[in-house]
Amino acid sequence: MNSIFYRRSIRNFIDKDVECEKIERILRAAMQAPSAHNFKPWEFIVIESEEKKTAISKLSPHATPAAKSKVSIVVLGNTKLIEKDDMWLQQDLGAAIQNMLLQIVEEGLGGVWLGFYPEMERVDKMKKYFNLPEYIIPFGVVSFGYSDEENKFIDKYDETKVNFENYSRESE
């Protein structure tokens, strides 16, 4: 079993700083994600100040863990780095965030993904707070730190969701 099986959303953090090397490895993991056409449209804002983490926590009703985190990373999509009609930005950024979450487990930390895009009210608040240009999309925030909670295995496998060769369930 590896970090995929131990990853879970951790929303509470203790007062212990996260080492710079761990933050860098988490960002490196993000940038190892697959990217359609190899556009790599991601950019990041690393937030450690209490003021900005608290502000982020108020930009969405589901972002309160940001205020409690030691580090929050805003994951941005740069639309200047993709072709005009490219539809894969969300998949690229989602893969980058998943890599971050897995590396967080590898680092012995806890973390959570706070979604912003495509909820435009949240996106607009984030754009305004960080004064982001039009071509930058604030996709989400990954908040993390040391935690008293343990990343533990919870078996989520559900064989009723698996089909072979064809879809075999009747409409429910």
Q: What is the pLDDT of residues 74-96, one digit of tens each?
A: 999 999 998 866 789 999 999 99
Which CATH number is 3-161 given?
3.40.109.10
CA distances from 114 to 36, 43, 58, 80, 167 (A): 23, 16, 12, 24, 32
The pTM of this model reads 0.91
Q: Pick 1 or 52 by higher pLDDT.
A: 52
Phi-psi region of 2 (alpha: psi -120 to 50; beta: other; left: phi over 0): beta
Name the strand (E) or helix (H) holding 139: strand 136-145
Alpha-carbon distance of 125 to 113, in angstroms, equals 18
Cα–chain-centroid distance for residue 72?
A: 10
pLDDT digits (tens, 9 = 90+) for 144-163: 999 988 878 888 889 988 98
Residue 1 has a pLDDT of 60
Q: To the nearest whole number, what is the mean pLDDT of the chain? A: 93
pLDDT of 168 over the 90 cut? no
pLDDT digits (tens, 9 = 90+) for 103-116: 999 999 999 999 99
> Quick one: average pLDDT of 130-140?
97
Q: Which of 106, 119, 102, 109 is nearest to 146 (CA)?
A: 109
- Which residue type occupies 135? Y
